[in-house]
Amino acid sequence: MAATFFASITHGENVILGWVILELTDSPFMVGLAMGIRHAPAFFLGVTAGTMADLVDRRKLMRSLLVLSALVALTLGLLLASERAQLWHLLVIPAFAGAISMMFNTTQQSFVFDLVGRQYGLNGMSYISLAMRGGAMVGALAVGFALAKSGPGTGYFVIVVTCCVSLTLLGLIRSRGRAAPAGTISMVTGFSEFWKELRNNRTVLALVLIVVLVELFGFTSIVLMPSIARDVWDLGPGGLGILSAFSSGGGIAALALVSLLGNISNQGRSFIVVILLFGVALIVLGVAPSIYIAVIAIVILSGMMALSDLFSQTLIQKFVPNDLRGRAMGAWTSAVGTAPIGNLEIGALASLFGITIASALHGTALITLAVVIFITFRKLRSI
């Protein structure tokens, strides 16, 4: 958990990237484009990352990825600190950071099941998600403070340090986990096995599709945060960091509640309720009459984001054989990787019609999705 906490501080890059792009271009659409490019590798490389996670020692893979993450952050930090960064740097280089982060998270989520086993999967995922959200909250505050006081380059240097700390902590883990896969097949065979499983396992396929839709309509709301901070509530970069910290805090509160409740019996129905509340919170955020209401909406919104991830990751891994869990999380990652489409779309909506309409349309779409799932997906209701 400690290694995950420090690795998750790197999520503070969203604060830096969103603010710098908005200041350079004064366009929510360009913020959406930048965020979309950063997350695009997840769609193209998700299953590949999951296959690699099934075939190699997951601990070693995560360590290598942290080294790469530190190098990319250092490169961006130096460019921004020297004031040599150009727009194309901020569009292209973060894509490498996104690919590394995607591969790390895919591997990490499978490694949790290795350590705790299938029976305690939800509990293990909730604890690791708590560490991730806690790290993201600290990262948002630290990076937002560094951005306001010393500039965006310093924010990236903070990320470099936290990568090194996480790398050190991961080096202390000696066990691969009792449920670790054997990893004796080739990449080609690994791809073949997984696609066969996905064709035959309609439940997993449906869950992956739901993740795609929730990502497109819900998680893309992160694109609106810089505009909400600057244009709606007249906050500076420090204020954006504080709003992002509240966002992480909502996720922490929701995950802590699940951890206290223990192993929830009806996880499928809970997942549907989460999607419904996700949509409601997004609508409230768009029409909030005061910053206090907006903060409450952000807290609830982030809580539903965290629980959506938790339930979807746990359910997908439960419905595949042990040796395919890495690839199952790769499929989940590819589903999340459709975010660039939603990032561009919600950025364009906000630019053309305003933040309120963009939030309302996406929130309504999530509510509709929850109702449709409840009516049509009987197996999910009974899980």
Q: How much is the pLDDT for 174? A: 77
Q: Which two tokens stand for residue 236?
A: 């500076």
Q: How much is the pLDDT for 180? A: 57
pLDDT average per 10 residues of sequence, the chain (383 residues): 80 81 82 78 77 80 91 90 84 86 82 68 72 78 81 87 90 70 66 78 88 88 79 76 74 80 78 94 88 88 89 84 78 80 81 87 93 88 74
CB 319 within 8 A of CB 201: yes
The maximal CA–CA distance of the chain, rounded, in angstroms, is 58
Amino acid residing at 138: V
CB 335 within 8 A of CB 212: yes
- What element of type H or E holds 191? helix 187-200
**Nearest in space to 268 (alpha carbons), one of 122, 126, 165:** 122
Is this model's pTM higher than 0.75 or not? no
Write out 14-25 in H/E/C secondary structure.
Answer: HHHHHHHHHHHH
CB 286 within 8 A of CB 355: yes
Q: In the Cβ-directed half-sphere of 383, how many Cα atoms lie within 13 Å?
A: 21
CA distance 219 to 250: 14
CA distance 383 to 381: 6
CB 76 within 8 A of CB 89: yes
Q: How much is the pLDDT for 181? A: 61
Q: How much is the pLDDT for 229? A: 79
Phi, psi for 143 (deg, rounded to 5): -70, -40
Yes or no: is domain 2-171+201-382 CATH 1.10.3720.10?
A: no
Residue found by looking up tokens 């930048």 in the block: 34
Phi, psi for 303 (deg, rounded to 5): -65, -40
In the chain, where are the structural domains located? Answer: 2-171+201-382
CA dihedral 288, 292, 294, 297 (to 10 degrees): -110
Residue found by looking up tokens 């509709």 in the block: 368
Phi, psi for 26 (deg, rounded to 5): 55, 40
CA distance 224 to 302: 14
Q: How much is the pLDDT for 177? A: 61
Q: How much is the pLDDT for 197? A: 78
**Sign, CA torsion 368/370/373/376:** negative
CA distance 147 to 143: 6
**Sign, CA torsion 122/113/312/316:** negative
Q: How much is the pLDDT for 377? A: 86
